[in-house]
């Protein structure tokens, strides 16, 4: 794994196919995201569900806008995911004890494009309560060979899966967030001096950085399972440990299951066999051990989990008009459209999908505003 300005550059799955370059987000309309509902309101309950389409407006700012306009406390407003600001995005929100007539106070305009009342439901929306995101993206000024590279790259991504890297935005503009997280893991006094939210932000940055290193080591076999792997079922998200790779590989070939990497925690299981040796090696390269990470996670109060090394690229459609590529596809919750864009574009500088100055192209799981290291 190479580094640029302290930031890890993760290897491409399709590195043998030339990238098409180009520019993204020339206008907000070039990056559209529509949240796919996991369920619709049943018509009964205390939470009023609405669907909002917004432009150049982050989800936290939308929540603040709704809170002020409708006279609701921010904690009464639920969301299933946090969407990018530099985009046109559609998502559901739940409003506790709100009445339909209160929604009329929220006016449409340049930032709030449309509002639709969906009905009442028994529970509030919580992070992860959606089925994924549908993306409609435009890449402008692509290379002349795009007509050859694009179908080749997309064929690989559909067949083998999209690398499930965490975006570099988690590491901050200087790429130092994971280093702060590493220091917190071994410094109890420093952990105690922070709020829980700030502490977890940095620890999750280290967690994501370690996962990316594990995935980088397995990039050429991200669609293969080995004895000792923890495999995740695509349909349910349930994990099981692989005993016989010859038995399970056909299921991986059909994308019924995928190998996973560890997001370490007090209860997360480490892989065994060769996958386990890879996880231990990546951990050792960062000056850590399995026992140290597990103990620190227990002290910090997070359980951890396994994360798929790849994600399916579904409902794909694309067209090339001169130097303008238009893409539509669906990704599961917690994944990043920028992982599709970077395989296509293969650019790493400012303005590229893999640069920390770029929005995430998916969901920002913990926060849309990382804490600066200078605030510690």
Query: φ and ψ at 167, to 5 degrees?
Result: -70, 155
What DSSP state is assigned to residue 336?
Answer: B
What is the per-residue pLDDT for 317? 98
Q: What is the pLDDT of residues 25-37, one digit of tens each?
A: 999 999 999 999 9
Asked if CATH classification 3.30.70.3160 holds for the domain at 39-127, the reply, yes or no, is: yes
CA 121 and chain centroid, separation: 27
- What CA–CA distance (Å, rounded) separates 58 from 81? 11
What is the per-residue pLDDT for 362? 55
Q: What is the pLDDT of residues 280-307, one digit of tens each?
A: 999 999 999 999 999 989 988 889 999 9
CB atoms within 10 A of CB 254: 9
Q: What is the dihedral of CA 313, 236, 298, 309, to 10 degrees?
A: -30
Instruction: Decide: 309 and 333 in contact? Cβ < 8 Å.
Output: no
The CATH number of 167-310 is: 3.30.2340.10
What is the per-residue pLDDT for 149? 98
Which residue among the candidates 84, 104, 141, 321 is catalytic per the annotation? Answer: 84
Instruction: Decide: 227 and 276 in contact? Cβ < 8 Å.
Output: no
What is the per-residue pLDDT for 367? 30
Query: φ and ψ at 202, to 5 degrees?
Result: -70, -35
* Whether residue 229 lies in the annotated active site: no
The token duo for 311 is 């994600």
Comparing CA positions, the residue from 132, 25, 119, 30 lying closest to residue 81 is: 132
Which residues have CB under 8 Å from 109's CB, separation 6+? none
What is the per-residue pLDDT for 5? 37
- Residue ranges in the chain whose pLDDT is less than 50: 2-7, 356, 364-376
Instruction: Decide: 24 and 30 in contact? Cβ < 8 Å.
Output: yes
What are the residue boundaries of the structural domains of the chain, listed by start? Answer: 39-127, 167-310
């Amino acid at each position: 794994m190479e580094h640029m300005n302290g930031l890890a550059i993760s290897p491409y799955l399709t590195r043998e196919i030339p990238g098409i370059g180009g520019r993204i987000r020339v206008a907000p309309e070039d990056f559209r995201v529509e949240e796919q509902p996991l369920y619709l309101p049943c018509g009964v309950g205390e939470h009023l569900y609405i669907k909002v389409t917004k432009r150049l407006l982050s989800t936290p700012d939308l929540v603040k806008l709704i809170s002020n306009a409708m006279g609701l406390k921010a904690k009464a407003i639920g969301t299933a995911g946090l969407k990018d600001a530099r985009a046109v995005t559609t998502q559901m929100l739940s409003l506790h004890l709100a009445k339909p007539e209160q929604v009329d106070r929220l006016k449409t305009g340049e930032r709030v494009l449309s509002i639709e009342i969906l009905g009442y439901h028994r529970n509030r929306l919580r992070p992860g309560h959606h089925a994924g995101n549908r993306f409609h993206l435009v890449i402008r000024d692509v290379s002349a060979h795009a007509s050859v590279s694009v179908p080749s790259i997309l064929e690989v991504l559909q067949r083998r899966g999209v690398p499930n890297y965490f975006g570099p935005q988690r590491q901050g503009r200087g790429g130092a967030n994971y280093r702060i997280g590493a220091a917190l893991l071994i410094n109890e006094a420093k952990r105690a001096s922070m709020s829980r939210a700030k502490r977890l932000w940095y620890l999750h940055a280290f967690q994501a950085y370690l996962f990316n290193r594990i995935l980088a080591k397995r990039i050429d076999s991200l669609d293969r399972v080995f004895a000792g792997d923890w495999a995740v079922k695509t349909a349910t998200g349930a994990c099981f440990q692989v005993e016989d790779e010859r038995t399970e590989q056909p299921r991986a070939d059909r994308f019924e299951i995928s190998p996973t990497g560890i997001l370490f925690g007090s209860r997360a299981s480490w892989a065994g066999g060769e996958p386990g040796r890879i996880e231990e090696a990546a951990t050792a390269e960062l000056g850590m051990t399995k026992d140290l990470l597990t103990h620190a996670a227990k002290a910090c109060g997070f359980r951890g989990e396994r994360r798929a090394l790849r994600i399916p690229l579904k409902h794909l459609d694309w067209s090339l008009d001169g130097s303008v590529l238009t893409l539509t596809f669906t990704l599961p919750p917690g994944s990043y459209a920028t992982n599709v864009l970077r395989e296509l574009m293969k650019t790493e500088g400012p303005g590229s999908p893999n640069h920390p100055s770029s929005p995430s192209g998916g969901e920002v799981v913990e926060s849309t505003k990382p804490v600066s290291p200078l605030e510690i």
